[in-house]
Structure 1
């Protein structure tokens, strides 16, 4: 059984709606609007709970919480030869590896 509380929730302000929007990364099609920030979080949390219960009852595949997945720390990025060259030059100028330079840029 998936614990719906382990999903990645966030609340943002929507100028368009004039309310807070509760969101869940694992269920990008869901949202919950409320004038109160805490209520928006509780609303999306309850909505996801209801969806997970419904999916379980129907035997549907339920997304795993991002927080419970394991990651290797490796991924490949394809870029243009020109950008690759530019980054390699920048890494050499800073006397660091290309990997270290890219990690720094991703973290900023």
Structure 2
């Protein structure tokens, strides 16, 4: 079971509302763990996920697939307002690139 919990996606962030660090697991959106330190929050959410998985196995429930194990095609459809589509098409044409390449480069920009 340990290797399974290692494959899930964890995040620790500050909760202004709770005034504590909160540990989260993307594949289990209903679970969280509050703690004084980020390290304790991560340890807590990992233990909670482990316990949850053990319970799910015991009750023969479907186990969430880790995002890290999923295969992605690299394709998805996004709906935008017509004005946005036009604006992006113009920007792509002015830059001499395809609309796909322009949007892919915008999506790939580093996060702040």
Shift of 1:58: 0.2
TM-score by length of 2: 0.91
SS of equivalent residue, structure 1 residue 3: helix
Instruction: Provide the C-alpha distance between the structure 2 equivalents of 1:39 and 1:93, rounded to a whole number of angstroms.
Output: 51
Partner of 2:53: 52
Instruction: Provide the C-alpha distance between the structure 2 equivalents of 1:39 and 1:53, rounded to a whole number of angstroms.
Output: 21
Across the aligned residues of Structure 1 and Structure 2, the Cα RMSD in angstroms comes to 1.3
Mapping for residues 16-95 of structure 1, pairs under 5 Å? 16-95=17-96
TM-score by length of 1: 0.94
Instruction: Provide the C-alpha distance between the structure 2 equivalents of 1:81 and 1:16, rounded to a whole number of angstroms.
Output: 39
SS of equivalent residue, structure 1 residue 21: strand
Instruction: Provide the C-alpha distance between the structure 1 equivalents of 2:65 and 2:71, rounded to a whole number of angstroms.
Output: 11
**What stretches of structure 2 of length at least 5 have no aligned partner?**
none
Partner of 1:11: 12
Instruction: Provide the C-alpha distance between the structure 1 equivalents of 2:40 and 2:82, rounded to a whole number of angstroms.
Output: 49
Q: What are the superposed Cα offsets for residues 7-43 of structure 1, whole Å, 9 maximum, x if unpaired? A: 0001001111111000000001100000011010000
- Which stretch of structure 1 is more off in the superposition, 74-83 or 36-45? 74-83
**What stretches of structure 1 of length at least 5 have no aligned partner?**
none
